[in-house]
Chain A
């Protein structure tokens, strides 16, 4: 039978945790929750938990990717043509913004490791700003599409109400969806397929833009969550909650931020490039 013996040292389960036998006293370890035995255990749990969560996130986007793949396979010509209506330069800029923010996050984790909490704060500020920058650019992209639906050529014209013309394209899925009559550009020497002339007609184009809005919208929601998470952790840093001995939330938050980046790294080529 398994025996229950009083223990004080928590490093006995070497085969379990793989960490050395430090002698910890709970009361003096900052941030250690009561139900964990060692900070190592707590950190391992937090990191593993985040990874498991990231996998569920990938599966969530996986459903959309799956739908994308199925329909792209079904309507290759339409999808290639529809992609030309997205604002690739802005998206490229956004990709750069996100990659830089990944760098600032990675640097902040490194700084936390070395106990440079001021630098952590600075880098967090930069990350959050970049996050807002991404959302702003994305918002402009969306606004462009909505402006077209209302007969304006740019969101600025829409906001100021100048230069309204007849609606010749509306790429927002729904009853008003209208794919432009003739785009002119052809891909791979193939003729651009004729588009239906009636608004709201069910076409593969609409499917493309639906998937586009779903995927990028879901990604943007994650971005908002990411900014919130970073703000909270930043506030905790400012309150001096972390030290080189305990900065799990910074690491975990960083992992989440990287996930947002990685999803974008898949979304960007799928919708804008290929």
Chain B
């Protein structure tokens, strides 16, 4: 117990600006909700029928007054709107270099995987002072990843990726909640976010913990993956890429039946029907599961859909691998 709670801790770079805006809103609200009741109170006491006061020449309308009390609130509302809008754009625009962590939500647990392959259940370790980007999806219903102390929340949808980013500022343990109602144990679908200094985080990454399998269960046997600071998630993706036979068509040199995937991530592609799109995680996801939705101009539509053949977990690894192809390309 922290005594009588009034206010959550500020533990991310967003917390300060969001709270400031919140306080300004509270202040403006007090201007109305704090003053107006006293005006009403004064009016109903002063003009109570038992009071002998001047009631002559009552007015029933006044354009000047109407305009005043329409325009001033409008200006204030637009003011806070623009403030909130700029802050929102900032909250939704991750910096170029982020630490990408993959999150899978399912009834009723969170499963996360770090780039080096380390997995967690209902926990998320993040370094402070580094922008972290979560790439999230759900295996069943809609969930919502919510860390109150960071002031961030994002719904996690089945069938697509949603992302959010934050930068923790303070080491500590914070609540992780599922904020979108997801069924019976909704209120128990949560855990903690542990913010560590960068050094501690890297140390944690290489510490051998319990071995968590892709489906979230704990393996009592020997570690299946080596834990080091490289990018084993991408490496696992590369193995998958080979074993699924992707490499046969998507050759790195571009000479295959399908387009080369080198440098693909975050580039703009144009399609057979004349449209274009940026190759983000959702595009990669769609192109693996349902390749015919968008056909790259100049290539035949021959790739079979992989929907139902790769798990969410494997999909994350494949995408991590394809993303790594863009990074090594000097991106």
Contacts and interface: CB of A to CB of B under 8 A. Distances in A.
Contact present between A and B (CB < 8 A): yes
Interface of A: 75-77, 190-191, 193-194, 196, 201-202
B301 A191 contact: yes
Contacts of A191: 295, 300-301
10 closest A-B pairs by CB: A193-B292, A191-B301, A194-B292, A190-B272, A193-B301, A196-B305, A194-B301, A190-B273, A75-B293, A194-B304
17 contacts: A76-B273, A77-B292, A190-B273, A190-B295, A191-B300, A191-B301, A193-B292, A193-B301, A194-B292, A194-B301, A194-B302, A194-B304, A194-B305, A196-B305, A196-B307, A201-B307, A202-B307
Interface string B29-49: 000000000000000000000
Given A194-B292, A194-B304, 8 more contacts: A76-B273, A77-B292, A190-B273, A194-B301, A194-B305, A196-B305, A201-B307, A202-B307
Interface of B: 272-273, 292-293, 295, 300-302, 304-305, 307-308
Question: Could you tell me the dominant secondary structure of chain B's interface residues?
Answer: loop
Q: Secondary structure of the A side of the interface?
A: loop
Contacts of B300: 191
Nearest to A190: B272
Nearest to A191: B301
A97 to B, nearest CB: 36
Nearest to A76: B273
Contacts of B307: 196, 201-202
Nearest to A197: B304
Nearest to A198: B308
Contacts of B308: 201
Contacts of A76: 273
Contacts of A77: 273, 292
A80 to B, nearest CB: 10
Nearest to B275: A76
A75 B290 CA distance: 11
Contacts of B295: 190-191
